Amino acid sequence: MEQVTLGSTGITVNKNGFGALPIQRITDEDAVHLVRKAYDAGITFFDTARFYTDSEEKLGIALEGIRDKVFVATKTAASNAKEFFEQLETSLHNLRTDYVDIYQFHNPAVCPKPGDGSGLYEAMLEAKEKGMIRHIGITNHRLAVADEAIESGLYETLQFPFCYLASDQDIALVEKCKEKNMGFIAMKALSGGLITNSRAAYAFEAQYDNVLPIWGVQREKELDEFISYIEHPPVMTDEIKALIEADRRELSGEFCRGCGYCMPCPAGIEINNCARMSLLLRRSPSELQLTKEVQEKMKKIENCLHCGHCKSKCPYGLDTPALLEKNYEDYKRVLAGEVSVK
């Protein structure tokens, strides 16, 4: 069984963490079943967020009676101290607990620091003194903010996207966290659904002993795959290396990572999914993308104002409106049966 210690927090858990974002989409009963099954199999790290609608509540129900045997991380997107404490109180209530193991700033645009005028970091310290939280963490999608958080020495954990499509700069962040004894929690280890080989995804993460991937699971079948890796952790082989190389080639260039930086869109377009629809259609079960609901979301691309906001905010330098258009054209062809997908 492979374990990971999250830097100075001392939190040591199985290398398979549970990402509780997707349980928003399933019933209370199914969510409780998944969480308890994960726990029974040896998974003891659960990550959620105040803004994952009812994810905290579902986790709270599922962890009733075993709270002291697991670690719970949640997040706040508060912009001032008042909001911070309101959100923390709500999270504690929903999670049915009186402390959070790791409380994280949720993808802030700038790295909160003492004396920056927001009062946010001071609120973290106060919450820690009061015993409401045990460790202070930060999540981010921006390299610059993540780097600043590491350099600041103010945070015990960083949560950042990290999968086998990672750039050298992403890998450098992981290494820097290790040097600074800071925990690294890997989100989007399946790149938001574009990586479909969980064995390869795990083998990649296994190369970094300070990284804890949190797998976002919604279906029991997916959970079962990760549970099987507790006893039999996949290792990097030539075959997996070749598969990763092929994926890196396919997913290079004009490839939307689904990070959502470019949002919100004034035309209400769900850019982070619509701009990579062609890949989602081909790399995951296409029926999930052809529902009436998704068709309506794709149709909104017709309302694009070409304001350029998204393009200017994309950290990958993508021409987002053009990418949306391209994906929409392809989507219409798939719907019309002119192009087949799996």
Alpha carbon distance 126, 135 (integer Å): 12
Quote the least distance from Cβ 140 to ligand SF4, whole Å.
13
Taking the complex as a whole, the smallest distance from the CB of residue 252 to ligand SF4 amounts, in Å, to 13
Among 198, 272, 289, 327, binds ligand SF4 (CB under 6 A): 272
The residue to which tokens 């967020």 are assigned: 49
If the CB atoms of residues 174 and 269 are measured against ligand SF4, the closer one turns out to be 269
Annotated active-site residue 52? The verdict is yes
**The one-letter amino acid at 62:** A
Least distance in angstroms from the C-beta of 278 to ligand SF4: 13
User: What is the SS3 assignment for 270-314?
Assistant: CHHHHCCHHHHHHHCCHHHHCCHHHHHHHHHHHHCCCCCHHHHHC
Q: How far is the CB of 186 from ligand SF4 (least distance, A)?
A: 18
Among 39, 52, 202, 208, the one annotated catalytic: 52
Q: Is 144 in the site for ligand SF4 (CB under 6 A)?
A: no
Number of residues that bind ligand SF4 (CB under 6 A): 27
Q: Give whichever of 66 and 305 is closer to ligand SF4, judged by the CB atom.
A: 305
DSSP-assigned states of every residue in 128-192? HHTTSEEEEEEE-S-HHHHHHHHHHT--SEEEEE--TT--HHHHHHHHHHHHTTBEEEEE-TTGG
Taking contact as CB under 6 A, which single stretch among the options 179-187, 193-201, 244-252, 257-265 is the one that binds ligand SF4?
A: 257-265
Does position 166 interact with ligand SF4 (CB under 6 A)? The reply is no
The reply to whether 251 sits near ligand SF4 by the rule CB under 6 A is: no
Provide, rounded to whole angstroms, the least separation between the CB of residue 312 and ligand SF4.
9
One-letter amino acid at 182 equals M
Rounded to whole angstroms, what are the CA distances from 336 to 292, 293, 327, 329, 333? Answer: 14, 17, 14, 11, 5
- Between 95 and 323, name the residue whose CB sits nearer to ligand SF4: 323
Shortest Å, Cβ 326 to ligand SF4: 12
What's the Cα-to-Cα distance from 43 to each of 3, 22, 55, 258, rounded to whole Å? 10, 17, 17, 27
- Asked if 158 and 179 touch (Cβ cutoff 8 Å), the reply is no
Question: How many CA atoms within 13 Å lie on the side-chain side of 48?
Answer: 28
Which residue among 258, 277, 279, 289 contacts ligand SF4 (CB under 6 A)? 258
Evaluate whether 160 touches 140 at the Cβ level (below 8 Å): yes
Closer to ligand SF4 by CB, 58 or 257: give it. 257
| Interface residue with ligand SF4, options 318, 327, 331, 334 (CB under 6 A) | 318
How far is 127 from 94, CA to CA, in rounded Å? 17
Rounded distance, CA 31 to CA 20, Å? 9
- 284-313 positions binding ligand SF4, by CB under 6 A: 304-310
Q: Considering the rule CB under 6 A, would residue 316 count as an interface residue with ligand SF4? A: yes
Catalytic annotation, residues: 52
> Which residues sit at the interface with ligand SF4, rule CB under 6 A?
256-262, 265-267, 269, 271-272, 275, 304-310, 314, 316, 318, 320-321, 324
